[in-house]
């Protein structure tokens, strides 16, 4: 008997349910090659060996069409240049009605308003929106409401398919010709590519934009080549100095010093404040000041933190160098000290936004946090937090990791001054809920510390430790005793302008256009 020839019929007859495909092997076209150094693809084998093309070619090859969804990361924060460069080509190609689903929008993206007016962009999705773009959206100029997600919620949406990205345009400060990319090397470095890593993996087409093509293979691989379709060289992807978000400033404001002391009081009187505790610090003035006090207690008590998570600044980097923190887990660098550190220090580890906070994977890093310090524009007596809409109702903030960390951390501490301008920041009902009150454990103002009544264990602990508490109602009443009750904003409930998603993708709140 001769050896059977492998045909489809033979395989189907004899190998059903074996776990293999019932398709016989077909050799690809004859393997002839040239050694041209410009070899992009061996025609006979379809093996891609060089993905560098110009931006227009990359966009055309991606098959981008009207109505599709594109994405960007915001690791360059106010110094971003990539969105502008890409949108100019998209406009030139005449592609319209796009959904732009960036990880966030900053002051660098105000020009998107015009693209919306002109019809190139139909909808926005992001963690936040600021400056003129925030005002533009709040004024109802975009017919489709902005979708607001936390960092973890966005990663969840991408990984689950709720947010299907057709083309991801990911800027990287160093990339080789195959797309192995990082944000740690090069003149335009921004540090961690935490947001970008998720988009790059899940987008239908991933385009790396770089102003620094390095030799193959790149020595640090944050985005691997097996996630990348094209590599585009541009003059400048972003301004390194621009990553300094503007949100980071050490405070000299006496109010913030008091808040900082109160934050510290909460932490050091908690039974969780012991060796190997973990913490995520905010980037607000008071929370960074709290770090100052916290360090003193740590040194006095001989306490070392197992890790810092975030959102990393020079403050965590210093703590590491001072031996107060063992490891840094970084989804975004907020300043150049963090950028240098993530490159040089093996204990400073880059993590993706999904690893960081996606609530639907097998456990993101936020799950092991002991403490998180968060800021707020306003809070209400039910512990709900608004970081998004100002006292005028205009969108000017970002959800960020707020709701992710608040829900996951053992003790979430939200801090804010009791009074800003002539308004109480503790109100009856916040304008917009970004972080639901059942996940907020402690609210700290310059007036005092309030513990969520749900946390009987904390109430007990603080009582035993002699930490005096106030209720949020007391705080509100005290503030309103000084500045009066603010006139409620009049909203046009027929004109929703933004949808706030909770971490799990359900709808938490709606932001409307103001009346008039």
Burial (CB < 10 A; 0-12, 13-18, 19+), residue 196, is buried
Instruction: By CB under 8 A, tell whether 516 contacts a second copy.
Output: no
- Contacts of residue 483, Cβ cutoff 8 Å, sequence gap at least 6: 419, 422, 423, 424
Query: Which lies closer to a second copy via its Cβ, residue 27 or residue 466?
Result: 27
Please pick, from the candidates 212, 317, 502, 514, the single residue that binds a second copy as defined by CB under 8 A: 502
Measured distance CA(406)–CA(437) in Å, rounded: 9
Instruction: By CB under 8 A, tell whether 20 contacts a second copy.
Output: yes
Query: Which lies closer to a second copy via its Cβ, residue 156 or residue 315?
Result: 156
Instruction: By CB under 8 A, tell whether 70 contacts a second copy.
Output: no
Q: What is the dihedral of CA 264, 437, 248, 85, to 10 degrees?
A: 160
Among the listed ranges 2-10, 187-195, 330-338, 475-483, the one in contact with a second copy (CB under 8 A) is 2-10
| DSSP assignment of 88-120 | HHHHHHT--SEEEE-S---GGGTTHHHHHHTTS
Query: Which lies closer to a second copy via its Cβ, residue 57 or residue 363?
Result: 363
Instruction: By CB under 8 A, tell whether 147 contacts a second copy.
Output: yes
Instruction: By CB under 8 A, tell whether 463 contacts a second copy.
Output: no
Count, residues near a second copy per rule CB under 8 A: 100
Scanning residues 221 to 250, which ones bind a second copy (CB under 8 A)?
221, 224-229
Query: Which lies closer to a second copy via its Cβ, residue 127 or residue 439?
Result: 439
Name the residue among 316, 246, 307 with its Cα closest to residue 288. Answer: 316
Please pick, from the candidates 16, 26, 466, 487, the single residue that binds a second copy as defined by CB under 8 A: 26
What is the 8-class DSSP label of residue 193?
A: -
Instruction: By CB under 8 A, tell whether 63 contacts a second copy.
Output: no
Cα separation values, 193 from 10, 173, 339, Å:
50, 10, 11
Among the listed ranges 76-84, 241-249, 357-365, 471-479, the one in contact with a second copy (CB under 8 A) is 357-365
Cα separation values, 35 from 147, 246, 451, Å:
49, 51, 70
Site string (301-340) toward a second copy, x via CB under 8 A: -----xx-------------------x-x-----------
Please pick, from the candidates 38, 94, 362, 468, the single residue that binds a second copy as defined by CB under 8 A: 362
Query: Which lies closer to a second copy via its Cβ, residue 221 or residue 469?
Result: 221
H/E element, 10:
helix 8-14
Scanning residues 415 to 454, which ones bind a second copy (CB under 8 A)?
436, 438-439, 441, 452, 454
Using alpha carbons only, how large is the chain's radius of gyration in Å? 25
Burial (CB < 10 A; 0-12, 13-18, 19+), residue 271, is exposed
Q: Minimum CB separation from a second copy for residue 390, in Å?
A: 17
Instruction: By CB under 8 A, tell whether 66 contacts a second copy.
Output: no
Query: Which lies closer to a second copy via its Cβ, residue 155 or residue 286?
Result: 155
Instruction: By CB under 8 A, tell whether 16 contacts a second copy.
Output: no
- Please give the order of strands across the beta sheet that includes 385-386: 385-386, 378-380, 426-427
Please pick, from the candidates 9, 13, 33, 246, the single residue that binds a second copy as defined by CB under 8 A: 33
Instruction: By CB under 8 A, tell whether 162 contacts a second copy.
Output: yes
Dihedral over Cα of 124, 125, 126, 129: its sign = positive
Q: Minimum CB separation from a second copy for residue 184, in Å?
A: 11
Please pick, from the candidates 339, 351, 376, 472, the single residue that binds a second copy as defined by CB under 8 A: 351
Backbone angles phi, psi at 505, to 5 degrees: 95, -5
Q: Which of helix, strand or coil describes residue 311? A: strand
Answer yes or no: are the C-beta atoms of 76 and 237 closer than 8 Å.
yes
Instruction: By CB under 8 A, tell whether 465 contacts a second copy.
Output: no
Instruction: By CB under 8 A, tell whether 367 contacts a second copy.
Output: yes
Instruction: By CB under 8 A, tell whether 178 contacts a second copy.
Output: yes
Q: Minimum CB separation from a second copy for residue 283, in Å?
A: 22
């Amino acid at each position: 008997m001769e050896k059977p020839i492998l045909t489809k019929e033979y395989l189907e007859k004899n190998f059903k349910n074996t776990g293999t495909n019932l398709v016989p092997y077909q050799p690809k076209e004859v393997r002839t090659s040239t050694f041209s150094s410009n070899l992009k693809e061996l025609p006979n084998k379809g093996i891609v060996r060089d993905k560098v093309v110009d931006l227009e070619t990359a966009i055309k090859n991606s098959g981008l069409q009207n109505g599709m969804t594109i994405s960007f990361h915001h690791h360059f924060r106010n110094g971003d240049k990539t969105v502008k460069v890409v949108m100019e080509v998209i406009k030139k190609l005449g592609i319209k009605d796009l959904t732009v689903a960036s990880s966030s929008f900053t002051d660098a993206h105000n020009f998107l308003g015009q693209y919306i007016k002109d019809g190139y962009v139909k909808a926005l999705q992001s963690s936040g929106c600021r400056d003129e773009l925030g005002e533009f959206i709040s004024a109802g100029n975009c017919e489709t409401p902005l979708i607001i997600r936390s960092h973890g919620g966005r990663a969840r949406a991408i990984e689950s398919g709720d947010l299907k990205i057709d083309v991801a345009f990911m800027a990287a400060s160093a990339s080789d010709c195959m797309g192995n990319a990082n944000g740690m090397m090069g003149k335009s470095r921004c540090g961690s590519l935490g947001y970008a890593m998720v988009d790059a993996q899940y987008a239908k087409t991933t385009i790396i934009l770089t102003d620094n093509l390095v030799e193959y293979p790149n020595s640090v691989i944050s985005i691997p080549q097996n996630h990348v379709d094209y590599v585009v060289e541009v003059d400048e992807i972003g301004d390194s100095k621009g990553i300094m978000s503007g949100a980071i400033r050490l405070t000299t404001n006496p109010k913030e010093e008091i808040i900082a002391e109160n934050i510290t009081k909460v932490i050091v009187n908690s039974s969780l404040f012991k060796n190997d505790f973990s913490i995520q610090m905010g980037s607000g003035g008071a929370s960074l000041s709290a770090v100052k006090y916290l360090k003193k207690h740590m040194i006095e008590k001989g306490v070392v933190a197992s890790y810092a998570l975030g959102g990393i600044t020079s403050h965590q980097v210093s703590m590491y160098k001072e031996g107060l923190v063992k490891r840094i887990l970084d989804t975004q660098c907020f300043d150049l000290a963090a950028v240098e550190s993530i490159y040089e220090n093996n204990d400073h580890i880059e993590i993706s936004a999904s690893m960081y906070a996606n609530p639907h994977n097998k456990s993101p890093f936020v799950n092991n946090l002991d403490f998180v310090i968060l800021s707020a524009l306003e809070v209400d007596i039910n512990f709900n937090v608004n970081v998004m809409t100002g006292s005028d109702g205009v969108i000017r903030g970002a959800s960020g990791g707020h709701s992710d960390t608040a829900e996951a951390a053992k003790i979430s501490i939200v801090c804010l001054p009791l009074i800003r301008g002539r308004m109480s920041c503790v109100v009856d009902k916040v304008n917009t809920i970004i972080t639901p009150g059942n996940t907020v454990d402690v609210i700290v103002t310059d007036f005092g510390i309030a513990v969520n009544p749900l946390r009987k264990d904390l109430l007990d602990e603080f009582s035993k430790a002699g930490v005096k508490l106030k209720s949020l109602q007391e705080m509100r009443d005290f503030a309103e005793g000084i500045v009066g009750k603010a006139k409620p904003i009049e909203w046009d409930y027929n004109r929703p302008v933004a949808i706030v998603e909770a971490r799990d993708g359900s709808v938490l709140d709606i932001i409307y256009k103001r009346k008039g």
